[in-house]
Amino acid sequence: MISAHQKTVMKASRTRSQERILSLLKTIKLGISAQDMYVELRSRNQSMGLATVYRSLEALKLEGMVQMRTLPNGEALYSLAQQDKHHLTCLACGTSIPINQCPAHDLEVELQTDHKFKIFYHTLEFFGLCSQCQLAQTAQLSQ
Ligand SMILES: [Zn+2]
Ligand SMILES: [Zn+2]
């Protein structure tokens, strides 16, 4: 557990840009790209340069606060690292369905111990076709 004191110290070392990005990420469910974050912050009157967005994200990533996942189109989505969440991602329409199980959870605990490695997060992605896209594909094939 992190003591209240440690929390204050960690918080104090963060820049205002990092704080703004964190509070934005708290409102985002499925992750957001740096570009969209830049636009969103601007609409909240919390404008910062895109380079600052990337720099802040990089710092938060090394702190274990933020995690990144890459979509099939190469776009990187950022989200808060706390939640052990995984997704089923449809390659046709890009829909991401969150799943609540994590088969890697116990493995992670084991690896941390065996390798004395501090794991911030892991990624596990499932790709394929959602039910709607499967129907669309079947319809197309039977034409
Ligand atoms: Zn789909
Ligand atoms: Zn997991």
Residue 88 CA, ligand 2 centroid: distance in Å: 13
Instruction: Identify the nearest ligand to the CA of 89 by its number.
Output: 1
In this structure, which topology does domain 83-143 adopt according to CATH? Dna Ligase; domain 1 (3.30.1490)
Is the pTM higher than 0.85? no
In this structure, which topology does domain 1-82 adopt according to CATH? Arc Repressor Mutant, subunit A (1.10.10)
The SS3 call for residue 96 is strand
Instruction: Identify the nearest ligand to the CA of 72 by its number.
Output: 1
Residue 138 CA, ligand 2 centroid: distance in Å: 32
Per-residue pLDDT reduced to its tens digit, 64-82? 999 988 888 889 999 998 6
Residue 47 CA, ligand 1 centroid: distance in Å: 34
Domain boundaries defined on the chain: 1-82, 83-143
The SS3 call for residue 78 is strand
In whole angstroms, what is the distance from residue 133 CA to residue 129 CA? 6
Residue 129 CA, ligand 1 centroid: distance in Å: 5
Per-residue pLDDT reduced to its tens digit, 13-69? 899 999 999 999 999 877 899 999 999 999 999 999 999 999 999 999 999 999 988
Instruction: Identify the nearest ligand to the CA of 106 by its number.
Output: 2
The SS3 call for residue 112 is helix
In whole angstroms, what is the distance from residue 71 CA to residue 91 CA? 9
